[in-house]
Structure 1
Amino acid sequence: MKILARHLTADLFNCQNYQLNDNELIKDMLVNLIQKFEMQLIRLSMEALDSSHTVYMAVLGQGHITMHVYPELKYVSLDIFLCQENAEPDKLGQAVRNYFKPDKTKTTVLKRGDFGTAKDLKPKVKTKVAPLRKIHNTGAKVIRILARRNNNQ
């Protein structure tokens, strides 16, 4: 089976990095990681969608990296798509996790591309949930914050 790309998605919960809303530091981290992994950066953009949600997008010669950062929730949504059969987005994902220091992560890795005949088109998905530290009722905290935000609007 020929794989055209590898795609990693990760949810980083209860991030301990106190610089979640320092846009320049996060952009610098992305640039440094792209250089460290010897990837070609075509464009890096950052867009603050509102005061509590910022999106970072790095377009690479090998694919893309997208991050949605929610400082109030201490949450980061990460998407790494690398257009190489032998790509290892999990190594890049680990470096991003090391920067944000989450208590818990949920990671999914997909092999993208040609999956053979029509009957074999169902992709193989590997999902891993890994608690890094004990979380105290994070789901309830997220719901309360979102409810407060909706009530204030």
Structure 2
Amino acid sequence: SNATIVNTSFHRFLPYGVSGVVVISESHLTIHTWPEYGYAAVDLFTCGDDVDPWKAFDYLRNVLKAGRVHVVEHLRGKYDEIGILEDSPHKAAV
């Protein structure tokens, strides 16, 4: 999905389960799994126009063989509320 991976860290729990983070230049991805309940919680945070979080979503849905998914999408970028100027180089398209 054109993301630039900066670092990764994963921890396996015994007897099963994993928590992990993938830090990308464009933000981060996290996962926490509870195989005993058939449940995984995934957060995909991205910014800018170069990364498509839905590609990561589709990939994980297939790899995890998810039978049911629940998606909540939060559009961020309330620049006026945090004082970023309209023409700032730090402002990403939303």
How far did 1:62 drift? 0.9
**3-state SS, counterpart of residue 107 of structure 1:** coil
**3-state SS, counterpart of residue 66 of structure 1:** strand
Alignment of 1:3-152 (within 5 A): 37-85=1-49, 87-114=51-78, 116=80
Letter in 2 for 1:95: Y
CA contact (8 A) 2:2 2:51 kept: no
CA contact (8 A) 2:22 2:29 kept: yes
Give structure 1 stretches of 5+ with no counterpart.
1-36, 118-153
After superposition, the Cα gap between the structure-2 partners of 1:89 and 1:45, relative to the gap in structure 1 and judged at 3 Å, is same
Greater radius of gyration (CA): 1
After superposition, the Cα gap between the structure-2 partners of 1:55 and 1:49, relative to the gap in structure 1 and judged at 3 Å, is same
**3-state SS, counterpart of residue 48 of structure 2:** coil
Runs of 4+ off more than 6 Å: none
After superposition, the Cα gap between the structure-2 partners of 1:77 and 1:51, relative to the gap in structure 1 and judged at 3 Å, is same
How far did 1:86 drift? 6.5
Bigger helix fraction = 1
Give structure 2 stretches of 5+ with no counterpart.
82-94
Letter in 1 for 2:32: H
Identity of aligned residues (%): 22
**3-state SS, counterpart of residue 18 of structure 2:** strand
How far did 1:74 drift? 1.4
Coordinate RMSD, CA, aligned: 2.0
How many angstroms apart in 2 are the aligned matches of 1:100 and 1:69? 10
Deviations 1:92-127 (A, max 9, x none): 21111011111110001111121656xxxxxxxxxx
Q: Which has the higher contact order (CA 8 A, sep 6+)?
A: 1
Deviations 1:2-47 (A, max 9, x none): xxxxxxxxxxxxxxxxxxxxxxxxxxxxxxxxxxx22211111111
